[in-house]
């Protein structure tokens, strides 16, 4: 039963052939996988190990940290700082980039991560995850914040772990998106989902509808059409899901298609979206594109967005290609006004031709 199974390490040796810095990148991904195994064990113990609950502390975004946020963050730092593979790290839970301690050698990659995605789900025993992005850093100097501000298309590798009924690691090095399942008895990630492919079309959408009053018209237009289903423009019924953990939503989309949206809204004018560009939107967008899907702000390919700051937020619309293209088209039509029927000035509000004016 175990003969001939492809482990993560074996797969990486094959996949990374011909890629610059292959052996270091492979070793780094194995270190990330080690952290993921530890975080998986922590989350699986739940209330038995006293790791649930919130702390008094808040992260740079002003969000209350959970115990697991902090523990998962420490696990990523400890597991990846020592190997001489990284020049630095940045995390959702750290205001500034993390400098590799002087006792360790400095490598040629930067690691950016969300140690625990969907952490509000941990206390209610619903799936959470870890998201990570690997960037190149060839300069001799210790990385400054600006070195992390690379557009997502430059990522050397990206991935996430999902801690669900099974723990899985889903990665890309720019040669397709591949899923590994943790065999807990042996402690190895085994290749179970090679070349994940998102169906181009789908009838499932995910959005937090409690924000509906803050959405832009093109998002309203799309969601209303989905809700109207068979009796409307789309001519078929749609299903809806909201797990409040992007990793879990994206995993579903990689397996059976669909659309995930955390779009631009007016809830807080200082924030152009809810999700963070560098360690949420970018790695997930690379995985989605490598699986044949599409990832957009609604107005621009997400992987082309040039970051301006470490914890920058961005609108996110991703998943099945044709659905995302439709939502992008709705944004375009809204921006140039072609989604509204033309009203001649003769018949507008103040016109002599309004029925009541003629009476
Ligand atoms: P995090 O736990 O890392 O802060 O991320 C949670 C994110 C994302 O995973 C999810 O899609 C979204 O926030 C949930 O937001 P709502 O609470 O608005 O549903
Ligand atoms: Mn997150
Ligand atoms: Mn998080």
pTM for the predicted model, two decimal places:
0.94
The Cα–Cα gap between 183 and 166 comes to 9
Residues with CB under 5 A from ligand 2 (ion): 114, 117
Q: State how far the alpha carbon of 138 is from the alpha carbons of 85, 87, 282, in Å.
A: 12, 9, 20
Alpha carbons 174 and 203: distance in angstroms, whole number = 28
Q: Tell me the CATH architecture of domain 8-193.
A: 2-Layer Sandwich (3.30)
CA of 135 to the centre of ligand 2 (A): 19
pLDDT over threshold 70, residue 353: no
User: Measured at the alpha carbon of residue 178, what is the angle toward residues 177 and 183, in degrees to the nearest 5?
Assistant: 155
Rounded to whole angstroms, what are the CA distances from 230 to 206, 234, 319? 18, 7, 22
pLDDT digits (tens, 9 = 90+) for 38-73: 999 999 999 898 878 887 778 777 778 889 999 999
Class of CATH domain 204-350? alpha beta
List phi, psi (to 5°) of 250: -70, -35
Instruction: State yes or no: pLDDT of 123 exceeds 50.
Output: yes
What does the alpha-carbon distance between residue 149 and residue 214 come to, in Å, rounded to a whole number? 29
Q: How confident is the model at residue 356 (pLDDT cuts 50, 70, 90)?
A: very low
Q: How confident is the model at residue 357, as a pLDDT?
A: 40
Instruction: Please name the residue whose Cα sits nearest to atom 18 of ligand 1.
Output: 208
Residues of the chain with CATH 3.30.540.10: 8-193
Query: How far is the C-alpha of 229 from the C-alpha of 226, rounded, in Å?
Result: 5
Atom of ligand 1 at shortest range from CA of 63: 4
* CATH 3.40.190.80 residue window(s) in the chain: 204-350
- Separation of 191 CA from ligand 2 center, angstroms? 25
Rounded to 10 degrees, the C-alpha dihedral 140/146/148/151 comes to -120
Starting at the edge strand found earlier in the chain, the sheet holding 294-296 runs: 239-240, 204-206, 259-262, 316-319, 294-296
Q: Is 118 in the pocket of ligand 1 (CB under 6 A)?
A: yes
pLDDT of 307 reads 98
- In the chain, where do the E strands start and end? 54-58, 64-66, 86-91, 98-99, 109-117, 128-136, 157-163, 167-172, 178-183, 188-193, 204-206, 239-240, 259-262, 275-276, 294-296, 313-314, 316-319
Looking at all shown ligands, the one closest to residue 245's CA atom is 1
Mean of pLDDT values over 282-293 = 99
pLDDT the model gives residue 344? 58
Would you say residue 111 has pLDDT above 80?
A: yes
244 lines ligand 1 (CB under 6 A): yes
Average pLDDT for 155-182: 98
Q: What percent of the chain has pLDDT over 70?
A: 95
Per the structure block, which two tokens stand in for 328? 């992008």
Q: Is 31 in the pocket of ligand 1 (CB under 6 A)?
A: no
Window from 32-36, 57-61, 190-194, 247-251 with minimum mean pLDDT = 57-61
What mean pLDDT do residues 71-85 have?
97
Find the DSSP H helices in the chain.
8-15, 22-45, 67-80, 145-148, 217-228, 246-256, 282-290, 321-335, 355-358
Does ligand 1 have an atom closer than 6 angstroms to the CB of 313? no
Question: Does 61 sit in the ligand 1 pocket, CB within 6 Å?
Answer: no
Distance 234 CA to ligand 3 centre (A): 35
Residue 14: Cβ within 10 Å count: 9
Ligand 1: nearest atom to the Cα of 121: 2
Q: Residue 202 is encoded by which pair of tokens?
A: 């789908």
Judge whether residue 268 has pLDDT over 80: yes
Average of per-residue pLDDT across 211-232: 97
Cβ burial 179-189 (10 Å sphere, 16+ → b, else e): bbebbeeeebb
Model pLDDT, residue 64? 80
Task: Give ion ligand 3 contacts, CB < 5 A.
Answer: 92, 114, 116-117
């Amino acid at each position: 039963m175990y003969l001939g199974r492809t482990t993560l390490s074996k797969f990486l040796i094959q996949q990374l052939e011909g890629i610059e810095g292959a052996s270091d990148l492979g070793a780094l991904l194995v270190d990330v996988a080690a952290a993921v195994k530890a975080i998986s064990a922590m989350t699986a113990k739940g209330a038995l190990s006293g790791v649930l609950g919130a702390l008094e502390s808040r992260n740079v975004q002003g969000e209350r940290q959970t115990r697991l946020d902090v523990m998962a963050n420490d696990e990523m730092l400890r597991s990846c700082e020592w190997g001489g593979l990284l020049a630095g790290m940045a995390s959702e839970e750290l205001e500034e980039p993390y400098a590799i301690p002087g006792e360790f050698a400095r490598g040629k990659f930067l690691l950016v991560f969300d140690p625990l995605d969907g952490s509000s789900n941990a206390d209610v025993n619903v799936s959470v995850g870890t998201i990570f992005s690997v960037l190149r850093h060839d300069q001799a100097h210790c990385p400054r914040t600006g070195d992390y501000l690379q557009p997502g298309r430059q990522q050397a590798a990206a991935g996430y772990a999902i801690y669900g009924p099974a723990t899985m690691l889903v990665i890309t090095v720019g040669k397709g998106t591949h899923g590994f399942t943790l065999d807990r008895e042996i402690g190895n990630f085994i290749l179970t989902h090679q070349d994940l492919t998102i169906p181009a079309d789908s009838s499932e959408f995910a959005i937090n509808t409690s924000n509906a009053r803050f959405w832009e018209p093109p998002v309203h237009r799309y969601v209303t059409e989905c809700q109207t289903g068979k009796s409307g423009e789309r001519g078929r019924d749609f299903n809806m899901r909201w797990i409040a953990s992007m990793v879990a939503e994206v995993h579903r989309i990689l397996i059976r298609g669909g659309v995930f949206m955390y779009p631009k809204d007016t809830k807080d004018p200082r924030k152009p979206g809810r999700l963070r560009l560098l360690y949420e939107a970018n790695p997930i967008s690379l995985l989605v594109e490598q699986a044949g899907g599409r990832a957009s702000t609604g107005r621009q390919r997400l992987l082309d967005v040039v970051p301006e700051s470490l914890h920058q937020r961005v609108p996110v619309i991703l998943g099945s290609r044709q659905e995302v293209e439709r939502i992008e088209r709705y944004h375009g039509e809204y921006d140039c006004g072609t989604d509204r029927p033309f009203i001649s000035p003769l018949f507008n509000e103040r016109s002599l031709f309004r029925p009541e004016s003629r009476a």
